[in-house]
Amino acid sequence: MWRGSERGQILRFGPEVYSLKFFRERGYVRKRCRVCGEYFWTVDPEREVCGESPCEPYRFVGKTLAKRRMNVREVREAFLKFFEKRGHKIIAPYPVVARWRSDMFLTDASIVDFQPFVTSGIAPPPANPLVISQPCIRLVDIDKVGLTFGRHLTIFEMGGAHAFNYPDKEIYWKEDTVRYYHEFAQEVFGIPEEELVYKEGVWSGGGNAGPCFESISYGMELATLVFMQYKTMNGELIELPIRTVDTGYGIERFTWFTQGTPSSFDAIYGELYPKVNKIIEMPKVDRELLIKYSPYTALVVPKKGMTVAEARRRVSEASGIPLEVIVNEIEPLERIYAVLDFTKSISFIISEGVVPSNVQVGYLARLLIRRTYRLLRSMGHEDKLLDLIDLQLDYWGVDFPHLKEMRNEVLDIIETEVKKFEETISKGSSYVERELSSMKKRGEKKIPMEFLIRVYDERGITPDLIEPIASKLGMEIQVPENFYELVASRHLRAEAGVAEEEEEKILEEAFKDIPATKKAYYEHPFVSKFRAKVLKTYGDYVALDKTYFYPEGGGAAADQGVIKHSKGSSRVVDVQMLAGGVIIHKVEGTLPDVGEIIEAEIDFERRLSIMRHHTATHILLGAARKVLGKHAWQAGASKEPDAARLDISHHKRLTYEDVKRIEDEANRIVASRIPVRIALMNRNEAEARYGFQLYQGGEVPSAEIRVVEIPGWDAEACAGLHVENTEDVGIIKIIKTERIQDGVERLIFAAGPAALPYIQEDWRLVRGIAGILGAPVEVVERKVQEVLNEVRELRRTVRRLLSSAAKLRAIELSQKPALIINDIKFYVVREDEDDREYVLQISDNLLSKPEPACFIAAYGRERLSLVAVANKEALERGVHAGKLVSMIAQKFGGRGGGKDRLGQGGLGRTIAEEEFIRESLNIIRELFK
């Protein structure tokens, strides 16, 4: 099913669900396809197949069947205007990164824009009915892109005409949905009725399901018409109160149909081909050969247990084209097709502020970039990736302006990612070889699939890098042809949350019978004392009818304070909100009686410090986006009384200059005295006014959004408490930065009075250093530099002296008798100087003569290090320095190893010179006897 649905093998609907008055009036009959066995509706009583390839080949390729040739932009406009004339409001496309949802990362269908909030009735739609042309990214078919000439794409536009039918308001349902498609296909494209076939199906996705029609013409599915009316839970269908018309019109497929080109890539990117050809010379393939091949490309998708090579034989047999012609002439073109599709996907994802990483949507971006890089490398054009990205940004930026706006950031992020991958490639071979060698020693001959996925996930090492190493070691490796699909499928959706802790479940049950607590802290955030009624107590928890205590949430710590009651007082140490809206206060001390009125007092200085840090977090995020770029999205935050942290996505380590500029910008906003505005807004209104950067803190599952705005600087959906004006935050001081994971930088900071101890500590350290140097504070930096220069010069002097000492020590050792076994001289020494370079210089001098010799030294004063060096002549006699070090280190409770020429290790204890030399010589004698 083109919509990528979880096709209905379990879900089935009876024929009455698909029987429409529209079909009966137009003479349509229900038939069963003799090839696939699915039911379909047609006006042609002689038709025996459903019409969808591969049940029959494409019949539009090489022909002009539409009213006129159209490009993607023209088809998009025709689609939107058609439905606008029929009462649908045109909605701007949503981002391809689904930041308004917590269960998935990429927008893979237009209905994703409205799930689950609109489809479940939580929030109203932005219009009803509405129409949208939504760019979608779908990686489940990444390994098929190119092979099927455009049947599979990672990025495409889905034309979505949606209607949301409420119990008290019907918009339209099946009859009008099919009629609209019928009219669109005939009026805009001139498709005759006998070529308009409707195939019955079942669609499910995003937790919803319903019957659908696949609309097929000339062998190609052009649209899917879904009637979403169920929620899927544990295999059960639960009827939804809102019935949703969810149609997906294939904008690129209609474009392909109008042009009749051999592939959809020719229709989508044809205008770009001359520029692409200047970057990468495109294979010159006879057009008639492609027209002959294209109608059967759906057969390239292997059946279960079949390889792509075997599937190609099917195409060869069906098309009459020799297999060697397909492999030699058509396969190179398929790689170009894939590169064009992948680079467009990358451009869209990165332009929305995604930084490649090993988690969530960053993982998917990294997968696409590395897959494309390896594909280009196989063609000898890996250096052209940025040129192709730049071309995509420029071309599609006409219709999607944010692509051009983000051009510099996109290119910088991708260039950084490519450099990281090149480093991975250079370092990865030795790691893989070590791992596979260990597996082979354990008797394993076949490399498991899990190993391939693990090294890709953890280190970014692709299977094609592993194959030659496996061959060298004589190990069997089988890389699935859909490897990237398998890997991507594990990361397309967010992992399910950890199950509720047992205590939380108990508390939910204990307080389920009382009403939600009134959140008085929103109305009066500066009230510190209040009276309230006790509704229930359980364990050491108290529930009130209203509270001014802020519960932990959104990264902000909970309030603390005191509750005074008839039995004394209790200290509030934590506050939490339960699922039903009941707020519970964890207390230390005697519990109040149920029903009594208590007096409570919040630790207001603590509250105010957290509020400052919360507003400061918003200010700093705005500063980071201004300094670093719009890709700097919030990846996490925590606000405590003493300090706070903000995690941001960024592809490089922050420099001192970056941090200084962010800090300067943040304090400029503080000094600008900007009022902090807080408003409850309709979800659609908020998104229209502020865009999807509202969701810096993640999903907001409600019809209304509490928007915290610093006008002209930052606006976010936020449930936290804030100061009234930016000047109330006080000075913002960034204490330090950390790289907490690849692609995420952490800013640890303090604001207002909480920043003072950190500033004072810095000042104390500077004054202390000035005192040690005996210099005024204002010249400390220059004085420290002078001292460092002196230290460097002393180090150079010491190094020269040690070099001379090493030469003398080598002469001294050469004049002493050495242990000689098999004509190999073994020098075993104990050196007090804890300097590895000094010891290695001794060995260089001692082993310089062309005679077999090996040098072994323990050096240092407390924890001894161990080194062994063998010269070329000794290696030829079978000496292995690494093995010697390993055996000697084990003797003394240490560890070591290394290669044949150089071994290194450490000893577990301090050892006297005589003992070390005696035992080491015994090991050597035993080894070479």
Q: Give CA 146 to chain center in angstroms.
A: 24
pLDDT at 501: 62
Q: What value does the mean pLDDT take over residues 350-374?
A: 87
Q: What value does the mean pLDDT take over residues 700-718?
A: 90
Q: What value does the mean pLDDT take over residues 692-704?
A: 83
Checking if the pLDDT of 7 tops 60, the result is no
Per the model's pLDDT, the better-predicted residue between 233 and 648 turns out to be: 648
Do 329 and 283 touch, CB atoms closer than 8 A? yes
Edge-to-edge strands, sheet with 208-217:
29-32, 39-42, 197-205, 208-217, 220-233, 236-250, 155-165, 130-137, 89-90
Checking if the pLDDT of 448 tops 60, the result is yes
pLDDT at 493: 65
Looking up tokens 């391809």 gives 96
pLDDT at 305: 66
Percent of the chain predicted with pLDDT > 90: 60
Three-state DSSP class for residue 213: strand
User: What single DSSP character describes residue 549?
Assistant: S
Do 86 and 131 touch, CB atoms closer than 8 A? no
Edge-to-edge strands, sheet with 634-639:
634-639, 644-649, 744-751, 732-741
pLDDT at 498: 47
Checking if the pLDDT of 869 tops 90, the result is yes
Do 18 and 30 touch, CB atoms closer than 8 A? yes
As a residue count, the chain comes to 929
Checking if the pLDDT of 548 tops 90, the result is yes
Cα distance between residue 239 and residue 375, in whole Å? 46
Percent of the chain predicted with pLDDT > 70: 97
Among 106, 90, 100, 96, which Cα is nearest to 690's? 100
Per the model's pLDDT, the better-predicted residue between 459 and 511 turns out to be: 511
- Give the DSSP H or E segment for 700: none
Per the model's pLDDT, the better-predicted residue between 553 and 155 turns out to be: 155
Report residue 8's pLDDT band, with 50, 70 and 90 as the boundaries. Answer: very low
Among 746, 492, 755, 759, which Cα is nearest to 609's? 755
Range from 229-238, 577-586, 784-793 carrying the lowest mean pLDDT: 229-238
Among 649, 659, 669, which Cα is nearest to 627's? 659
Opening angle at CA 83, ends 81 and 86, nearest 5 = 115
- Give the DSSP H or E segment for 203: strand 197-205
Most trustworthy range by pLDDT among 3-7, 19-23, 422-426: 19-23
Checking if the pLDDT of 576 tops 80, the result is yes
Among 384, 374, 385, 383, which Cα is nearest to 466's? 374
Three-state DSSP class for residue 285: coil
Cα distance between residue 573 and residue 569, in whole Å? 13
pLDDT at 491: 65
**Torsion sign (Cα): 611, 613, 618, 619:** positive
Checking if the pLDDT of 769 tops 80, the result is yes
Do 447 and 669 touch, CB atoms closer than 8 A? no
584 class by beta-carbon count within 10 Å (0-12 exposed, 13-18 middle, 19+ buried): buried
Looking up tokens 């659908």 gives 212
pLDDT at 6: 38
pLDDT at 9: 41
Per the model's pLDDT, the better-predicted residue between 658 and 358 turns out to be: 658
For the chain, give percent helix, strand, coil, nearest 5.
Answer: 45, 25, 35
Report residue 172's pLDDT band, with 50, 70 and 90 as the boundaries. Answer: very high
> What mean pLDDT, rounded, does the chain reach?
89
The model's pTM is 0.80
Per the model's pLDDT, the better-predicted residue between 306 and 918 turns out to be: 918
In terms of DSSP bridges, do strands 597-602 and 529-538 run parallel, antiparallel, or are they unpaired? antiparallel
Checking if the pLDDT of 521 tops 90, the result is yes
pLDDT at 642: 93
Q: What value does the mean pLDDT take over residues 826-836?
A: 90
Q: What value does the mean pLDDT take over residues 383-395?
A: 95
- 636 strand-pairing partners: 647
Cis status, amide bond into 54, omega within 30 of 0: yes
Report residue 494's pLDDT band, with 50, 70 and 90 as the boundaries. Answer: low
Among 723, 527, 514, which Cα is nearest to 616's? 723
Cα distance between residue 75 and residue 70, in whole Å? 6
Among 415, 376, 419, which Cα is nearest to 280's? 376
Cα distance between residue 719 and residue 706, in whole Å? 6
Q: What value does the mean pLDDT take over residues 321-325?
A: 91
Cα distance between residue 33 and residue 48, in whole Å? 6
**Torsion sign (Cα): 367, 387, 261, 180:** positive
- The dihedrals phi and psi of 548, each to the nearest 5 degrees, come to -105, -5
Reported as a single tens digit per residue, the pLDDT across 798-823 is 889 999 999 999 999 998 888 898 88
Token pair of 490 as six digits: 């594990």
- Give the DSSP H or E segment for 334: helix 331-351
Do 696 and 596 touch, CB atoms closer than 8 A? no
CB neighbours of residue 711 within 10 Å: 10
Range from 265-279, 428-442, 518-532, 634-648 carrying the lowest mean pLDDT: 428-442
